[in-house]
Structure 1
């Protein structure tokens, strides 16, 4: 996507931005910490000017790979290199029903989504990807994690809505792991931290980065400059802002604790000036994503992006084409955490049926990056005499042994059967509806009952302040 010369120019200009324009840090402790590390601070303007030397030291100290673990702590995913992991992503506030109607999401919706993700093999991480409307917004951040760890055994991409929520969030992870030491040594979650473009770090975002770094938990920077709106109108200019915001977050994390794990990420987007919208499924948005992946990999960082989603309002051909384009490009770009499968309508709506279909797209992407392998010393000549005599390879031992490895075998969401007599057949959306019902009818993942009771106590204790006296019917 970018030439090496252009990458170098974008990085150099981002360093100039950090040192001459600086960034606004609204958190006094963030400003004070950066000042203690010798950076120029304008306290009246809440601005920090970061030197190239300081940021380059932070780049060196930030880990280039780390692991996140499943809820039971017996399997891990390496985040870094060209390893690719898909997750449902973001914090949607709406749920798409099978009849096409949309309504506010609930705890029951999130539980169904998490149970589905638990069984979809190509979606290798979970996320707190729905915000339930049936609990106070003040507790909805850690409440989502509370639901996640009970209903899916995969690592979780999550985040805070309030800086006061971090202690309860850490307590939830500690209960699940058995100790805070285990929660840190085997982190089950990555925490999103979203700077406000252009070049501003809120109290919440700074606090999230600092708390995670202090405890050794992974952060994921979600820089969101929008071309012509909160970033320059050119893609290259927007990449400069995105680079500067990511480097500032990494520098802050390393100032707290050298070696703190951080993912270089974001959700930058082209701006559609006609509609006044941010099309996350557009080609230009994916171009920005692939370009910043190149920049982040130049530093050696793990990479995150939103690339498995659609702006369509329904699970239709637009949803399929936008999602497929993003899923494939992310895999080819070596993005490590790819968020957004299942998502529609500018990252505001989730669909269980889309999630099932997207799972197959992710499987195809994994097959693509697995490449074409040289499995034998001779690729064909050793097998040809026998096959020529038989007239086919169907019964050959190598065929029986390797056909499942050479070709991805999709599930029932993908139609590869012969057409029934008279033509027709169910659509992919109808097939996905059937699969959703089948998967949700299976025995779900269960956390140990004693841990669930402890988690219930934490949520009710914290929620009582905001008028929540009991858990929603599907939560406990």
Structure 2
């Protein structure tokens, strides 16, 4: 069952009270929703025959065209498995492919350092995860600039404070002042220090993935991380049809440690796929299945997440476009395929092309989140902060997204009927021409009956003007400031904290200050 989202909405989004009111709430644990268990049906955008057609064409792509695996170790694994290997091109027979894909568990537990934040991935479960990889941020003064470690710390704090976020991600923004060879150490440390929710691993090299696992072992224990998922890592196929050495290196590290990977082609439809939504899905499905299959050659039975990142391209400028109807339609198709294969699957939520937290951002974000929810996505990534096609993470956007996720959590959790008899009794009590404001039912339920966002403004024009005529972007920044002011660190055990610091210091001595 889901958490009573409306109850937590009232606690975490209440207007008024000011600084003292917020301070008084600090003694209580930070509200955090459990895994969303969807209570609404998925939406099938096409009939089963269309899904079968796409599946069949994906199999033909892998059998007849093949996929490149630019890694000697991967090639040896495919040869040993009986695939048709010619240099780096691998053609995979459908029987072999589907046998490997069938080894992936349909659900798994993703463990957090605080067991109360542990979540389930797959089946009817959905989790919301912040964005990843922004070099720029739009700060609390509405300036666009490079991200810093202080910004990354702040975004991890905000992720911890947001009740409907189930993960702290990792590289929400790049700490650009830290040397690239050493940056990953501080990214993972920030995620582990400032939040006790699940996090994401680093994939930009084999060594950085190994460092991530070493840090996870300090926090969770070496024996525990050998068998239990404690993080998720992203690997992207280079569309069309190339899995490169860097991604396969990371895949090998994490899969061998039984840590789930997201196998997600990064596809710009019309540029790296055909200019066809259905054709793009057939290609991306083939790419994702090939990646999933390789993980099962590395460690059979390891948990994995099938996925995609597909956006359309503005054919006038070449720019990726966010919340388009085609992107939403492709989500529905990928969801149907994931259910066919019984695989947990990933998509994106609030990813937009807008530069500001404005009307365009709102339209784009909700076009995609609505599709993600109704398509039954399990790991809904980029659910907070995303601006400018992922180049920027905005404080205002992050706070807005976190608040909207509470609404989506409630929407997908279904309609409660637990107080229906009481509501009917209230109707009989009031009768014609009365009002319900003073009834016992209203007094008992008004605080939790409805989603009550605090950033959105529903006041009269006169009241809005008297309070400063603030636009939504301004209110979002104010919300982010308040959340940061209320933050209290979920402390690591002293021995664990010291162990992380020692590892970072040792590795920083060993690593260069620049990329050779």
Contact 1:460/1:468, CA 8 A, preserved across alignment:
no
> 2:377 and 2:351 mapped to 1: Cα distance?
15
Structure 2: runs of 5+ lacking an equivalent: 1-44
- Equivalence for 2:57: 13
| Residues 1:170 and 2:213 aligned together | yes
Aligned pairs (5 A) from 1:63-82: 63-82=105-124
> 2:107 and 2:217 mapped to 1: Cα distance?
23
SS in 1 for 2:347: strand
> 1:380 and 1:101 mapped to 2: Cα distance?
49
Moved more, 150-159 or 5-14: 150-159
- Equivalence for 1:221: 263
- Equivalence for 1:440: 484
Aligned pairs (5 A) from 1:61-460: 61-128=103-170, 129-177=172-220, 179-340=221-382, 341-375=384-418, 381-388=424-431, 391-410=434-453, 412-421=454-463, 423=465, 425-442=469-486, 443-460=488-505
> 2:284 and 2:326 mapped to 1: Cα distance?
15
Contact 2:181/2:512, CA 8 A, preserved across alignment:
no
Structure 1: runs of 5+ lacking an equivalent: 470-476
> 1:380 and 1:150 mapped to 2: Cα distance?
46
> 1:120 and 1:346 mapped to 2: Cα distance?
23
Moved more, 107-116 or 287-296: 287-296
**Cα RMSD, aligned residues only:** 2.1
Contact 2:112/2:118, CA 8 A, preserved across alignment:
yes
> 1:222 and 1:17 mapped to 2: Cα distance?
17
- Equivalence for 2:80: 36
Contact 1:309/1:323, CA 8 A, preserved across alignment:
yes
Query: Once the 2 structures are TM-superposed, how far is the Cα of residue 287 of structure 1 from its aligned partner?
Result: 2.2
- Equivalence for 1:473: none
- Equivalence for 2:24: none
Query: Once the 2 structures are TM-superposed, how far is the Cα of residue 293 of structure 1 from its aligned partner?
Result: 1.9
Query: Once the 2 structures are TM-superposed, how far is the Cα of residue 143 of structure 1 from its aligned partner?
Result: 3.1
SS in 2 for 1:270: strand
Contact 2:251/2:295, CA 8 A, preserved across alignment:
yes
SS in 1 for 2:128: strand
SS in 1 for 2:319: coil
Query: Once the 2 structures are TM-superposed, how far is the Cα of residue 378 of structure 1 from its aligned partner?
Result: 5.2
CA 1:309–1:256 in structure 2 vs 1: closer, same or farther (change >3 Å)? same
Moved more, 103-112 or 77-86: 77-86
CA 1:422–1:375 in structure 2 vs 1: closer, same or farther (change >3 Å)? closer
Contact 1:118/1:153, CA 8 A, preserved across alignment:
yes
Contact 2:206/2:253, CA 8 A, preserved across alignment:
no
Query: Once the 2 structures are TM-superposed, how far is the Cα of residue 97 of structure 1 from its aligned partner?
Result: 2.3
Where in structure 1 do 4 or more consecutive aligned residues deviate above 6 Å? none
Query: Once the 2 structures are TM-superposed, how far is the Cα of residue 98 of structure 1 from its aligned partner?
Result: 3.6
CA 1:120–1:17 in structure 2 vs 1: closer, same or farther (change >3 Å)? same
Query: Once the 2 structures are TM-superposed, how far is the Cα of residue 95 of structure 1 from its aligned partner?
Result: 0.9
Query: Once the 2 structures are TM-superposed, how far is the Cα of residue 257 of structure 1 from its aligned partner?
Result: 1.8
Query: Once the 2 structures are TM-superposed, how far is the Cα of residue 292 of structure 1 from its aligned partner?
Result: 1.3
Query: Once the 2 structures are TM-superposed, how far is the Cα of residue 41 of structure 1 from its aligned partner?
Result: 1.1
> 2:307 and 2:415 mapped to 1: Cα distance?
30
> 2:464 and 2:137 mapped to 1: Cα distance?
35
> 2:345 and 2:330 mapped to 1: Cα distance?
13
CA 1:422–1:361 in structure 2 vs 1: closer, same or farther (change >3 Å)? closer
Query: Once the 2 structures are TM-superposed, how far is the Cα of residue 193 of structure 1 from its aligned partner?
Result: 0.7
- Equivalence for 1:27: 71
Contact 1:269/1:288, CA 8 A, preserved across alignment:
no
Query: Once the 2 structures are TM-superposed, how far is the Cα of residue 334 of structure 1 from its aligned partner?
Result: 1.5
Query: Once the 2 structures are TM-superposed, how far is the Cα of residue 187 of structure 1 from its aligned partner?
Result: 2.7
Contact 2:180/2:513, CA 8 A, preserved across alignment:
no
CA 1:377–1:271 in structure 2 vs 1: closer, same or farther (change >3 Å)? closer
For residues 240-276 of structure 1, the C-alpha deviation after alignment (integer angstroms, 9 at most, x for no partner) is: 1110011111111111222111111121111111111
Query: Once the 2 structures are TM-superposed, how far is the Cα of residue 406 of structure 1 from its aligned partner?
Result: 3.6
> 2:231 and 2:194 mapped to 1: Cα distance?
15
Query: Once the 2 structures are TM-superposed, how far is the Cα of residue 25 of structure 1 from its aligned partner?
Result: 0.4
- Equivalence for 1:472: none
